[in-house]
Amino acid sequence: MLRRRSAHQSDLIHRGRRVLAAQTDGFGMAERTPASATQGPRLLAPPTDVEAARLHRLVLDGFAAEVRPQDRADMDRRELVEWVDRLFTRAMEIENVTMPLAVQRDVMLRMVASLEVPESPSALPEQASEPDPVRRPSVPAPAPSALVNEGEPDPFAETGSESATGGDVGTRKAARDRVEQARKVVAPVLMDRIDIGSVRETPRDELAKRITVLVGEIVVEQKVQLNAVEQRELVRTLVDDMTGLGPLEALLADDQVTDIMVNGPHQIYVEKHGKLQMTDVAFRDQQHAMNVATRIVTRVGRRVDESSPLVDARLEDGSRVNVIMPPLAIDGVSISIRKFAKYKLNIDQMVRQLNMSPEMGTVLKIAARSRLNILISGGTGSGKTTLLNALSQMIDPGERIVTIEDAAELKLQQPHVVRLETRPANLEGLGEITMRDLLKNALRMRPDRIILGEVRGAEAMDVLQAMNTGHDGSLCTLHANNPRETLTRLENMTTMAGFNLPASAIRTQISDAVDMIVQISRMRDGKRRITQVVELVGREGDVITTQDLFKYEFDGEDNDGNLMGRFVSSRMRPHFLAKAAYFGLDKRLIDAMGCNG
């Protein structure tokens, strides 16, 4: 059935045909003699790869600017050839390039083929039942940032599956498959054209520019059909594999992602807004995932292999990483990344986010400024380290601070900070430096405060001794479900040191050393809240007595699934009021607690 052309389409076609007024050869192609030829064009010869790529880009840009998508869909091959003929002539004039007619024909035919719209789904077998993103021909990409065009769909933009429809997921999968097929063709050629030794010394942005140019040449040479968005994704994939963490780079760049969990090469989960989501990101195979895991741990001087299949490490930004590999991880290498926030939360920001009440924030500020020994307890991913970082901002800049961690992730703002990190044993099983070793050494470093990332074992005894021997104002975290359980766990970990001390002696040390316990929880709506602030006031017999200062009381749930509740003050006189008075903060403490002086 014949299609009627609109007036706009007819006008476009007539304008294109007027370009063909010049003489033509046997192929129906115009003789090309650029206007700038009298200024000294190069001799007739096949174009170089770079010149062909530039001509292709000019034709693409001209076609996108002058032809609407709906008109393009209605064009037959003859009309498309006429438009490419016109745009190709103009591109040769701009670039001051001439070439034999036979070469012109071959170049134009490739351009026409790349611009043709498939007649039916059978033209693209790999997308037979899936929607196709707007495709553009293979061209050398400019800098990655310049490839983002308004109005052009990016099938790689979404990494989570929470809001994606089935069609969106299918489109992204098809686009990723095309990029992966192109990578298999482009990567070997690219490796032959770059100096692998200089990759590590080249800044990432500069390397991306170089790879972009090379990829643009290679896709033209190898006749790889990719649109601009897919080519940008190909460049990013190659650069990430060379210098970064492969497919994890996109997740690390997403500020909404707080945790990344790799369960084998083909299953990657993330946490966003406190909720777990499965992504459509994946490694190519098990070896690809292992290469990324090895790159992470070797950057901090550690190793992961069959003889040492468990390792804790960190990324350059301080994000905490745990890797466990087969045979312990049955389904393939497991990588857990706790991302380090790009911006640092303070107490005031946590108040605004409703992690605590303003009065609770004031009391915690006073407690940190008054050099109280504070334990922060909570479950995995509850925000203990974030709260510890926030509290540390209240430390006087003139104090000397020593931090001790298994994987250094604390980022203190004070100028006088010494950061220590544990070390695992080497291949011979020698050279291990534990947290307890570092803690003993820290006591000889004249610290004003000692901050432990997390107390897990026998070092609990050394922490208590440090707190009881003049190193007040110390901060540390541990895993526990409530303040009373925190005391029980601390007592149990103290016995792991191997000292045969009676329970009453250990509890006396705990009650004398620890001033406050702050309990933080990640609730089922994904939000983190401080649920209890408790201070230790002494002992009654064999029982350590405590006093609640604040408590979160749950009231219900709104229509959006958010929990509703209140931070309630006990309005009791704090036991550490005398310490606050020493720093001139007693009146503010009484006002914050809402109790009478």
One CATH from 3.40.640.10, 3.80.10.10, 3.40.30.10, 3.30.450.90 for 255-338: 3.30.450.90
Contact 452, 476 (CB under 8 A): yes
Q: Specify the amino acid at residue 64.
A: A
Q: pLDDT, tens digit, for every residue of 432-487?
A: 888 889 988 988 899 989 998 888 888 888 888 888 887 889 999 999 999 999 99
Q: What is the mean pLDDT of residues 282-296?
A: 89
Query: For 475, phi and psi rounded to 5 degrees?
Result: -130, 145
**Structure-model confidence comparison of residues 57 and 355, the more confident one:** 355
Q: What is the mean pLDDT of residues 371-398?
A: 90
Q: What angle do CA 178, 291, 422 make, to 5 degrees?
A: 140
DSSP per-residue string spanning 203-270:
-HHHHHHHHHHHHHHHHHHTT----HHHHHHHHHHHHHHHHS-TTHHHHHH-TTEEEEEEESTT-EEE
Q: What is the pLDDT of residue 16?
A: 46
Asked if the domains 255-338 and 347-593 are classified in one and the same CATH topology, the answer is no
Residue from 216, 221, 236, 220 nearest 175 by CA: 236
Q: Could you give the 3-state DSSP secondary structure of residue 288?
A: helix
pLDDT at 132 over 80: no
Domain boundaries in the chain? 7-119, 144-243, 255-338, 347-593
Q: Please, which residues have CB within 8 angstroms of residue 469's CB and are 6 or more apart in sequence?
A: 443
Residue from 257, 259, 320, 265 nearest 288 by CA: 265
Q: Could you give the 3-state DSSP secondary structure of residue 19?
A: helix
CB neighbours (10 Å) of residue 594? Answer: 11
**Proportion of the chain above pLDDT 90, given as a percent:** 26
Residue from 492, 487, 543 nearest 510 by CA: 487
Q: pLDDT, tens digit, for every residue of 15-46?
A: 444 433 333 333 333 344 443 333 443 334 55
Cα–Cα distance, 407 to 319 (Å, whole number)? 9
CB neighbours (10 Å) of residue 497? Answer: 16
Task: Indicate the fold that domain 347-593 takes in CATH.
Answer: Rossmann fold (3.40.50)
Q: What is the mean pLDDT of residues 229-257?
A: 85
Residue from 382, 379, 385 nearest 412 by CA: 385
Q: pLDDT, tens digit, for every residue of 534-585?
A: 999 988 888 999 999 999 999 888 888 889 999 999 999 999 999 999 999 9
CB neighbours (10 Å) of residue 328? Answer: 11
CB neighbours (10 Å) of residue 334? Answer: 20
How does the average pLDDT of the chain come out, rounded? 78
pLDDT at 310 over 80: yes
Cα–Cα distance, 392 to 405 (Å, whole number)? 15
Only one residue has tokens 């002494």, namely 538
Task: Provide the pLDDT confidence category of residue 126 given band limits of 50, 70 and 90.
Answer: very low
